[in-house]
Amino acid sequence: MSEKLNQLNEILGEVSDLNHAGSVLGWDEQVNMPPGGSDARGRQLATLGKIAHEKATSQEVGKLLDELKYEFAGSDSDEAALVRVAARNYDKTMRVPASFVAEQAIAASKAFEAWVEAKSKSDFSIFRPHLEKVVDLVKKYVSFFPPSDHPYDILLDDFEPGLKTAEVQEIFGNLRPKQVELINAIKLARQVGDDFLHKKYNEKKLWDFSEKIIAKFGYDFSRGRQDKAPHPFETSFSVNDVRITNRFEAGSPIATIFSAMHESGHAMYEQGINPAYERTPLENGTSLAVHESQSRMWENLVGRSLPFCEHFFPELKKAFPSQLDGVTAKSFYKGINKVLPSLIRVNADEATYNLHIMLRLEIEIGMADGGIAVKDLPEIWNTKMQEYLGVTPPNDAKGVLQDVHWSGGMVGYFSTYALGNIISAQLWEAINQDIRDLDDQIRKGSFDQLLGWLREKIHVHGHKYDPQDLVQKVTGERIDSAAYVRYLTRKYSDIYGL
């Protein structure tokens, strides 16, 4: 390794350390911190963010990158990828003043606390001024960059490098009518029962069961942990410290199990990244859509599959004999896959889930280009929920306040959920070509070969490849919804006799 690359890695390693320290504070804010600590926590995060920003945008980093770009031009090595990603990050970071980073951190911390209170009271007016501040800062952030085809392109690029708004709209435009057609066909079929999912379940038993499942999947608890938070998430401080959070909802208790599966999918990705990438720009997953493909795969393609139910259901029934009395593995499978347009995104079935995302994408694009004002969000949200899903939220908590992401300024993020669904199906077809007896392995509770495939094809590469390039490298095609449509059609034709 060249001396210049060593110098660059030393500086970027310190930036990584600072960012991870900020992540620890962010994790604590949602898991342990008392409400009164929000102001101080905002300042602490702002200080760390400012120092990291200043280090990342120093003249020394710029000079080293200018020299190293020529040294590694045309190479496909890890070092060349590191320089390429670092240069892209540097160019983006240089455009954003350190003072703005600090201002955004403080605003996000206050907005998160306001969101928690607003959701608990189902009162959007509590959150509104904070979200208005967040959206103003998002627009200010966009102004730091050269004009693009759409302002949203700049926001999307932070989560999906190289992907454009028009590409996402085209992918969703192809998918939406096919999902609507499937949903309409299901509406005409006999509905499946799921009463057993809404009974009272012991929270600790469900929590323990969820940890047993994800440990069997391959989530390494010696390098991770699961804690409670208002909204489930995964966060990574190093390849050897990857944590998840979860929650218990009395009205939807089994969701605890599926949330654990979902977040463990994210976490296993991070635990599987090449350790040599630690403290470099390659140390995380390539994009949020690819990340989401991992979480949705373990939650849905594995966790909501019939082979999985056949393996785990008998044990679940032993833990909850009265709640599951008379329920078979097949009826449990049908129940957890029941299609019914609903209010809450995270609890939505696979057939309707993407419509929640498409709704949010429209709103985000509107907020980014000024077409939608924050004050109008509750009304717009409710109108679009009726338009997309045929349901209207009875209050703000089950409507516009249900997601935490906007409080942190994460505008540009939501499309990655649906893109992740799409990519998961593309990967699943490739996996089944290579692991011909995958269903039998899942039925036996064996996940080593599946995780090994993902480790080799996806996880180990970290951020070496851009999302479209990685998907094409593994599946032979770019991000496309056809495999996902095939998956949904096959699955729900079986469940509903279509």
Burial class (CB in 10 A: 0-12, 13-18, 19+), 314: exposed
Of 54, 144, 42, nearest to 99 by C-alpha is: 54
pLDDT of the residue at 413 = 87
pLDDT of the residue at 39 = 87
pLDDT per residue over 206-244, tens digit each? 999 999 999 999 999 999 999 999 889 999 999 999 999
What interhelical angle do 151-159 and 165-187 show, nearest 10? 80
The whole-model pTM stands at 0.90
Average pLDDT over the chain, rounded to an integer: 94
Q: Which of 29, 160, 263, 362 is catalytic?
A: 263
In this structure, are residues 409 and 49 in contact, taking their beta carbons and an 8 Å threshold? no
pLDDT per residue over 379-419, tens digit each? 999 999 998 899 999 999 999 999 989 999 999 989 999 99
> Looking at 328-385, which runs of residues are DSSP E strands?
none
Token output for 8: 């660059």
Alpha helices by DSSP H, listed for 122-164, are 124-143, 151-159
What are the structural domains, with CATH classification, of the chain?
3-147 (no CATH), 165-496 (1.10.1370.30)
Q: Taking residues 190-210, what's their average pLDDT?
A: 94
Q: For tokens 């390539």, what's the residue? A: 286
Q: For tokens 């007016």, what's the residue? A: 125
Q: Residue 480 in 3-state DSSP?
A: coil
Q: For tokens 């990857």, what's the residue? A: 242
What interhelical angle do 482-496 and 165-187 show, nearest 10? 10
Of 344, 192, 385, 156, nearest to 259 by C-alpha is: 344
In this structure, are residues 94 and 62 in contact, taking their beta carbons and an 8 Å threshold? yes
**φ, ψ for residue 223 (rounded to 5)?**
-125, 20
In this structure, are residues 458 and 294 in contact, taking their beta carbons and an 8 Å threshold? yes
Q: Is the per-residue pLDDT at 121 higher than 70?
A: yes
Of 156, 92, 123, nearest to 410 by C-alpha is: 156
Active site residue 263: yes
Rounded Cα distance between 324 and 172, Å, is 38
Rounded Cα distance between 65 and 35, Å, is 42
pLDDT per residue over 317-327, tens digit each? 999 999 999 99
Q: For tokens 């012991």, what's the residue? A: 202
In this structure, are residues 352 and 341 in contact, taking their beta carbons and an 8 Å threshold? yes
Q: Taking residues 148-176, what's their average pLDDT?
A: 93
Q: For tokens 């029934």, what's the residue? A: 317
Of 175, 176, 194, 174, nearest to 495 by C-alpha is: 194
Q: Taking residues 286-290, what's their average pLDDT?
A: 94
Count of alpha carbons within 13 Å of 32, Cβ hemisphere only?
8
Confidence of residue 38 (pLDDT cuts 50, 70, 90): confident
pLDDT per residue over 73-93, tens digit each? 878 899 999 999 999 999 998
Q: Running DSSP on this structure, what letter comes out for residue 192? A: P
Question: E strand or H helix at 203, and its extent?
Answer: helix 203-217
pLDDT of the residue at 251 = 83
